[in-house]
Amino acid sequence: IIKACIFDLDGVIVDTAKYHYLAWNRLANELGFEFSIEHNERLKGVSRMTSLDILLEVGGLTYSNAEKVVMAARKNEWYLEYIYKMTPDEILPGVISFLTMLREKGIKISLGSASKNAMLILERVQLQSFFDAVIDGNKALKAKPDPQVFLLAAQELNENPTNCVVFEDAAAGIEAALAAGMKCIGIGSPEILGRADKVVPGFENANIELIKF
Ligand code: G16
Ligand code: MG
């Protein structure tokens, strides 16, 4: 029986992937190439530094660690310009009513995100009050598909992993949830998220049946 729901942030609650893409492509352009949108799928759910490594691989470029730290920081500054402008209108359809329903049923709620900016984003879209725990890229140091982020969420909620379900839009996140011994619901397309226990396009019309297995 499910007692806790753990939500990924980017691609599940809000679509910040578009802002990550704009900021990464700005960096790519500065380095002299175009980071096409088709490559963006590979950045979903993976850490900032891994994203940079993928970007540089696409561009066929190699830099030292020190240079990469500077590049990642610049990208983040551009990304934050978009994040500061976010409003609650950007919460994906059906999310607020689904979270409200979970609260009413007494199901615990946590965030499980790779982003170091997760708290800021929750504040911008005014969703912090729904979350009993927030595990983000500052607390979980091992990147998905490592299960650490979700295991820390279960621990903070004081729940057994087998009573938790994870909502994820990225293949790396599905693998992390399965490795944590949790149920997993993919948000997006079955072609990418086929390993999840269930896949739905989003939270529109979602009700308690979704978390019954
Ligand atoms: C998100 C995005 C990733 C991003 C990562 C780190 O993860 O999906 O593309 O690289 O966070 O973000 P930041 O640079 O803000 O620390 P999630 O786990 O919320 O999908
Ligand atoms: Mg995601």
Q: Return the ligand number nearest the Cα of 135.
A: 1
pLDDT in tens, 86-124: 999 999 999 999 999 999 999 999 999 999 999 999 999
Q: What is the pTM of this model?
A: 0.95
pLDDT of residue 175: 96
Measure 10 CA to ligand 2 centroid, in angstroms: 4
pLDDT of residue 141: 87
Q: Whose C-alpha lies nearest to ligand 1, atom 15?
A: 115
Q: Is 6 in the pocket of ligand 1 (CB under 6 A)?
A: no
- Locate all alpha helices (DSSP H) within 60-205, ordered by sequence: 65-84, 95-104, 118-124, 148-157, 171-179, 190-193
pLDDT in tens, 140-191: 989 899 999 999 999 999 999 999 999 999 999 999 999 999 999 999 999 9
Measure 205 CA to ligand 1 centroid, in angstroms: 27
Measure 113 CA to ligand 1 centroid, in angstroms: 7
Which residues, in sequence order, are bridge partners of residue 134? 111
Q: Is 114 in the pocket of ligand 1 (CB under 6 A)?
A: yes
Measure 69 CA to ligand 2 centroid, in angstroms: 23
Q: Whose C-alpha lies nearest to ligand 1, atom 6?
A: 115
Q: Which residues contact 89 (CB under 8 A, 6 or more apart)?
A: none
E-assigned strand segments in the chain: 4-7, 108-112, 133-135, 164-168, 183-187, 198-200
ipTM over 0.90: yes
pLDDT of residue 45: 86
85 is in an annotated binding site: no
Active site residue 15: no
Residue listed under structure tokens 């753990």: 6
User: Which structure tokens are listed for 110?
Assistant: 């946590």
Contact 32, 56 (CB under 8 A): no
Q: Is 11 in the pocket of ligand 1 (CB under 6 A)?
A: yes
Query: How far are the Cα atoms of 33, 62, 70, 211 from residue 65, in angstroms, in the given order?
Result: 20, 10, 9, 43
Q: Return the ligand number nearest the Cα of 52.
A: 1
Q: Is 75 in the pocket of ligand 1 (CB under 6 A)?
A: no
Active site residue 136: no
User: Which structure tokens are listed for 73?
Assistant: 């920081």
